[in-house]
Amino acid sequence: MPTSTSLVTNLPADFNTFGQAVDTSMAQLKGGSTGQVLSKTSSTDMAFTWVTPTDQTPLTTKGDLFTYSTADARLAVGNNGETLVADSSASTGLRYQGSMAAGKNAVIGGSFDIWQRGTASTTSQAAYTGADRWFTFTLTNANSAQVTLAAGSPCTYGVKFTSTSATNSVLYGTALESQTLDPLRGQTVTLSFYAYCSTGTVSLISYVQKNATPNTLQSGTWTTVSSPTNTVTTTPTRFSATFAIAGDSTTAGLRILFGADNFTNGANFVIYGVQLEVGSVATQFTRAGGTIQGELAACQRYYYRQGGLNTYQTFGGGFADQTTTAIIQVPLPATMRVAPTSVDFSTLNLSTGGTNTAVTSLTILSNNNGNGIAVVYPVVASGLTANRPYSLTANNSTNGFLGLSAEL
């Protein structure tokens, strides 16, 4: 630097010398690239170098989380509707999972686990047949049966429809009880299901319909809320549709239907994992009852069948009120929706003291309430002793059964 005694003529040279010295001492501060920072290389004055920070964000996608394992890490955003949970086995200690809460799915029987009436139905219509809670409106030139799904599917079972003619028709559905429907009214909801076919494609319409009559499947005037056409192929695919359910009295009843016509003769298609839930996205499939036992109990609220255990299985007990009729109490495993309104049966008898008398008809007594006990009224040709105790049993056959219905 120039001093107070420096001559004016010496100043240019002095400043040149000073500038070169500054440039030499500050050389390590020059250069570098975008994003780098200065780092000390030693305790010596002006000992610096440019380095790229190692603590840079690993986040790459909207919704990613900044986490840590042995170093800063990225947790990729989960799927729509999933929740973040702690998991010590995961590399970052966190993971996403779908909701597994019981009751999220409003469709009882959407997993097709429970088939109390039998696992196959031939051509028929207007009847509850096969899978519990599902009603066959039309099954023309086709049949339905339970099918076991491939490992890794969201369910164990589905329902398979097989064509027996090039001209065929399937209409299959279920309805929601008012207590199940109430939390959905006035909400945006999503219906989802999985489907695939054996060959070609199948046009499958998924209808959601409402009416002003509660707790019904067939009566009333139904108005379509949603009815997308879904192209089903040989690849198992999840389909979904989002719509609003009115909160007024016009939605006192709600039903879900699946319809297909004229798919190839001999071909089949499979439906499984049917779910209706609040929200605008289809979350991970769960049974309405949560567990398999919970699903069975939910189905038995509407229909209960026992039978097939042994050749003289006992269904209930009571007494003969006349020589041709008896009053029998049948214990129920779950409280039914209402008192059973109909009964179906096969190969039964009334038994007492080693004497067995075949039952010819069976009805429900009006004074039963379905709350733990159902009262049935079997009829025989003759031979009962009035006021004597009798048991209602299978008639020496494992085909004997008793079914009680409180369906919508």
Do 191 and 145 sit in the same domain of this protein? Answer: yes
Find, among 136, 126, 192, 127, the residue nearest to 159 by Cα: 136
pLDDT for 66-85, tens place per residue? 898 888 889 899 887 778 88
Find, among 349, 374, 375, 376, the residue nearest to 362 by Cα: 376
> Is the residue at 214 inside a domain?
yes
> Is the residue at 31 inside a domain?
no
With contact defined as beta carbons under 8 Å apart, do 286 and 101 qualify?
A: yes
- Who wins on pLDDT, 32 or 112? 112
> Is the residue at 27 inside a domain?
no
- Is residue 6 scored above 80 in pLDDT? no
Do 167 and 241 sit in the same domain of this protein? Answer: yes
* Residue 289 neighbours by CB distance under 10 Å: 22
Find, among 123, 171, 168, the residue nearest to 271 by Cα: 171
* Residue 90 neighbours by CB distance under 10 Å: 14
- Is residue 314 scored above 90 in pLDDT? yes
Q: What mean pLDDT is predicted for residues 4-16? A: 74
> Is the residue at 76 inside a domain?
yes
Supply the pLDDT for residue 371: 82
Do 142 and 281 sit in the same domain of this protein? Answer: yes
DSSP E strand boundaries for 129-280: 135-140, 142-148, 157-163, 169-176, 188-197, 202-211, 223-226, 229-232, 237-244, 253-261, 268-278
> Is the residue at 92 inside a domain?
yes
What's the number of domains the chain is made of? Answer: 3
Domain boundary among 251, 283, 300: 300
pLDDT for 122-132, tens place per residue? 877 899 999 99
End-to-end CA distance of the chain: 101
pTM above 0.75, yes or no: yes
Supply the pLDDT for residue 27: 65
Do 125 and 254 sit in the same domain of this protein? Answer: yes
Find, among 267, 234, 275, the residue nearest to 150 by Cα: 234
Domain boundary among 300, 329, 353: 300
Do 285 and 313 sit in the same domain of this protein? Answer: no
Do 160 and 287 sit in the same domain of this protein? Answer: yes
Domain of 83 in residue numbering reads as 65-97
Do 136 and 276 sit in the same domain of this protein? Answer: yes
pLDDT for 272-290, tens place per residue? 999 999 999 999 999 999 9
**Residue for token digits 């031979």?**
383
pLDDT for 216-238, tens place per residue? 999 999 999 999 999 999 999 99
Burial class (CB in 10 A: 0-12, 13-18, 19+), 42: exposed
CATH at 248: 2.60.120.260
* Residue 30 neighbours by CB distance under 10 Å: 8
- Cα separation, 211 vs 115, whole angstroms: 28
